[in-house]
Structure 1
Amino acid sequence: MTGSPPSTALPARLLEDAELRAAAAAHDFGTVFRLARQRAGISYSQIAIGCDIKPDRVGTLARGHGQVTTFSNIVRICDALRIPGRLAGLADRPWETVPGSGEGEVDEVLRRRFVQVAGLTAVMPSALADQSGRIGQRDVARLRDRTVRLRRLDEVLGGGDTYRLYTAEYQATKAKLRDGRYDEATRCALLSLLAEQAQQAGWAAFDGGREADAVSLYEASRTAALDAGDAALSGNALAFLAYQRLGGDRRAGAEIAGRATEAIDGRTPAGVRALLHERRAWACAAADMPTEAERSLAAARQALDEAHGQPQPDWAAWVDRTELDIMTGRCWAELRRPLRAVPVLEAALARYDDSHARDKALYSSWLAQAYLTAGEAEQSAAVVSRAFALSDGVASVRPQKRLAPVIDDLSSARYRTLPAVAELLDQVRS
């Protein structure tokens, strides 16, 4: 317990904060994690590494679900965050009186803990080749399994927390393609994996506000997918690029999304078909093309009906009926059809667990928008309030970026004196 303070050590000013002190005394470490994120810039992934807790558990605790009750976990959290023992009802910790040593040892411990937290076994270069130094299909399968496990972090952490990790995985695979020895079938498998990893890294970049990096990664993904002959991943790369274009030329975005669905052929898994049609529906809604949006939603629903019991690639497996219902509601909200948007969004979001805080907050913004379009300002304010609380501490720029225009509309003279709206505006200011 000697050594320089870890990167997760709370600053002295925060340790003097009354809210943090009360949370530490009550062993309410979810509040401690949230305050560390908000007021000290310590990400949930850093906390997970330092405290040796799974990242999804950190996010769940920070959103008020669950408690830390075991003595060993309480001690480990206090040591990682450098919370003095007296604040948590413990004896003084050794580091409170022992001078520090070098940082290298601390960094190495944190690196090892990250591997444990992510539930991964480090794949060293020597383990990715046989005795002749060749990389085979079994090695690629192991790397793909690793990519699948890492993808689960996106369910609870924002791109600000995952971007560097996903980019490092992409670069590692790129190095294997450059330096490794393999046959043609393995080369194609590695290229497909590279395309998949580039899309995951691109998504994290977009989610974390690095839009130029996202475009570059999506384009690299499409190049790799085309080289591998992987039409499904090539189409998905186009769909991602279309999503990027919706912030500018929306008609161009819809056109790119249409090209993505052209990649569908008889070998395309049903789940991938549903994903590509769903993303085209959104692009068409954003471009004010209601007929095309409705057709694409119907095509996505039909594809999902055909996916029952069929194996799907993990990168498309998240598309289910609840996700499609949410997309349906989003499309109708964007097209200013609140009577169609509100019921489907209310029902779908009721089934959506709060542990997926980023996505639920983001999707709720369209429900708030639909309510406001219908003139229901109080209902809109209630939805924004819940979404704002959910997105608090999530390392993603998108939820609050989406909520901002709804809050601006509610701030107008027409609505701001309504009690529910005034309460929301106080919440936002605080």
Structure 2
Amino acid sequence: MGNLPPLAARLRRARQAEGWSQKELAKLLDEAGRSLGIRMPERASLVRSIGNWETGRHVPRDPSPILLAKVFRVDVDELFGDPLKEPRRTPAEVLARILPEGDPLKPLTTRQGRRIGMSTVTDLTARVHALRLADDVMGGDDLIQPAFRELDSAVRLYREGTHSNVVRPALLTVIGEYAQIAGWIASDAGKHAQAETTYRLGISAAREADDAALESNILGALAYQVTNLGDTGRAVELAEAALTVASHAPGRARALAWDRAAWAHAREGDAQAAMRALGEAESALANDRDHDGPAYLYWVNAGELRIMEARVYTELRRPLRAVPILTDVLSRYDATHVRELALYLSWLAVALIDANEPEEAVRTAERMLDISTDVASDRTTQRARVVLGRLAPFTDVREVRELLARFPLGD
């Protein structure tokens, strides 16, 4: 989609956001046109037109813009305005569309399970935290099956069991926490569709539990995945929705939401917005007074914010700022967190390449590749390919040639 004309990409994204096929959109356009007394072409012709619009071969002509805006429930100017900049949906619009279809958390009409008490919630809370700690040192491929078993078990307890009005929101919060870490693990394993479905479940559970910090955290996790997949426009929308939800959350929750917004803006190339978000993240963490806040934010600290700052500088091609930060933080980073260490080393390697230091970049890349060999993570695999690809133009350097011989780009 990245090579499509902006209007074509916008139209395709609008349809996909609704979950419609081109045939389904053609049907809706036909119905909208007939309701306005417009003589419509054959349905097959409409499908071909949609295909041409979404590939940039043709631009919609009257009355199609009016019908498309009617079907997508937006103004014509919003859909067909400045083609160089994608229109942003408001946080409210993003949140209205993010929840899963149906109600996967709806209790069964006839419940035959046991009554769930707070002791069960306490046990589940301990188990989900143990899963988070395991994720610190293990890759997604190793954890995805146990993570989803745990999530499914928690959802079944909620749907099949009985619980008081006090236990119900606490159980929903645990389900949201399970969905967040299970979605994160699925994303790390490269199962992005599964991850997004799981995140949506978690957002629904967090909202039902009235837990704004958790809802923001899961929205931010989804924004982070979408950013890394390259859909930066949608990523910024999700990140802004996470910020809206977190407006009254503890400082660490707001810091994390701003951090993920900074990353989305950086990947979009908006340096000013990224720098502002980094500043807001630092301020939110500095003003945090809720040190006994949610357990899942245990890892949000000044060091992690510095890492993101350096990543943003790297993405914006400012290596002279990125390299000192990464070098300093990585010198003190917990070596047992192999996946994160490898990922952060990959950013340092890229920053060194941008600084025209290929020999030093090779040394960093070698360390990154050596420690990540046994990490079952799609993210480290993809980052390794990025690093090797960025080194490829420097094959006149002996160290680069030797590294690429050890780790061919096709592997």
Is the TM-score greater than 0.5?
A: yes
Task: Check conservation: 1:388, 1:400, Cα contact below 8 A.
Answer: no
Separation in structure 1 between the aligned mates of residue 401 and residue 289 of structure 2, nearest angstrom: 47
CA deviations on 1:140-192 (whole Å, 9 max, x unpaired) are 12210121122111111001011111111110110011111111221111111
Q: What is aligned with 2:167?
A: 186
Separation in structure 1 between the aligned mates of residue 241 and residue 290 of structure 2, nearest angstrom: 28
Could you list the runs of 5+ residues in structure 1 that have no partner in the other structure?
A: 1-131
Counterpart of 2:330 (choices 349, 357, 380) is: 349
Q: Percent identity of the aligned residues?
A: 39
| 1:208-219 → structure 2 map (5 Å cutoff) | 208-219=189-200
| 1:304-343 → structure 2 map (5 Å cutoff) | 304-307=285-288, 310-343=291-324
- Residue 355 (structure 1) shift: 1.6
Q: What is aligned with 1:64?
A: none
Task: Check conservation: 2:138, 2:375, Cα contact below 8 A.
Answer: yes
Counterpart of 1:175 (choices 145, 151, 156) is: 156
Asked if 1:380 is matched to 2:361, the reply is yes
Asked if 1:226 is matched to 2:207, the reply is yes
Task: Check conservation: 1:358, 1:391, Cα contact below 8 A.
Answer: yes
Task: Check conservation: 1:192, 1:230, Cα contact below 8 A.
Answer: yes
CA deviations on 1:81-116 (whole Å, 9 max, x unpaired) are xxxxxxxxxxxxxxxxxxxxxxxxxxxxxxxxxxxx
- Residue 206 (structure 1) shift: 0.5
Counterpart of 1:205 (choices 179, 186, 189) is: 186
Q: What is aligned with 1:241?
A: 222
| 1:98-137 → structure 2 map (5 Å cutoff) | 133-137=114-118
Separation in structure 1 between the aligned mates of residue 235 and residue 290 of structure 2, nearest angstrom: 33
Separation in structure 2 between the aligned mates of residue 309 and residue 187 of structure 1, nearest angstrom: 24
- Residue 219 (structure 1) shift: 0.8
Asked if 1:253 is matched to 2:235, the reply is yes
Letter of the aligned partner of 2:236 in structure 1?
Answer: A
Task: Check conservation: 1:371, 1:377, Cα contact below 8 A.
Answer: yes
The list of structure 1 runs, each at least 4 consecutive aligned residues, that deviate by more than 4 angstroms after superposition, is none
CA deviations on 1:342-361 (whole Å, 9 max, x unpaired) are 11111111111222111111
Separation in structure 2 between the aligned mates of residue 369 and residue 308 of structure 1, nearest angstrom: 36
Q: What is aligned with 1:165?
A: 146
- Residue 308 (structure 1) shift: 5.9
- Residue 406 (structure 1) shift: 2.3
Q: What is aligned with 1:139?
A: 120
Task: Check conservation: 1:284, 1:293, Cα contact below 8 A.
Answer: yes
Asked if 1:262 is matched to 2:244, the reply is yes
SS at match of 2:291: coil
Task: Check conservation: 1:297, 1:328, Cα contact below 8 A.
Answer: yes
Separation in structure 2 between the aligned mates of residue 308 and residue 374 of structure 1, nearest angstrom: 39
| 1:68-83 → structure 2 map (5 Å cutoff) | none
- Residue 311 (structure 1) shift: 0.7
Higher alpha-carbon deviation: 185-194 or 302-311: 302-311
Counterpart of 1:394 (choices 375, 391, 394) is: 375
Q: What is aligned with 1:42?
A: none
- Residue 283 (structure 1) shift: 0.9
Q: TM-score, normalised by structure 2?
A: 0.69
**Residues 408 and 133 of structure 1: is their aligned pair in 2 closer, same or farther, counting only changes over 3 Å?**
closer
- Residue 269 (structure 1) shift: 1.6
Letter of the aligned partner of 2:185 in structure 1?
Answer: A
Task: Check conservation: 1:158, 1:207, Cα contact below 8 A.
Answer: yes
**Residues 308 and 367 of structure 1: is their aligned pair in 2 closer, same or farther, counting only changes over 3 Å?**
farther
Separation in structure 2 between the aligned mates of residue 403 and residue 287 of structure 1, nearest angstrom: 22
Task: Check conservation: 2:310, 2:326, Cα contact below 8 A.
Answer: yes
Quote the RMSD (CA, aligned, Å): 1.6
Q: What is aligned with 1:113?
A: none
Separation in structure 2 between the aligned mates of residue 265 and residue 274 of structure 1, nearest angstrom: 11
Counterpart of 1:406 (choices 387, 395, 407) is: 387
Task: Check conservation: 2:350, 2:390, Cα contact below 8 A.
Answer: no
Letter of the aligned partner of 2:403 in structure 1?
Answer: L
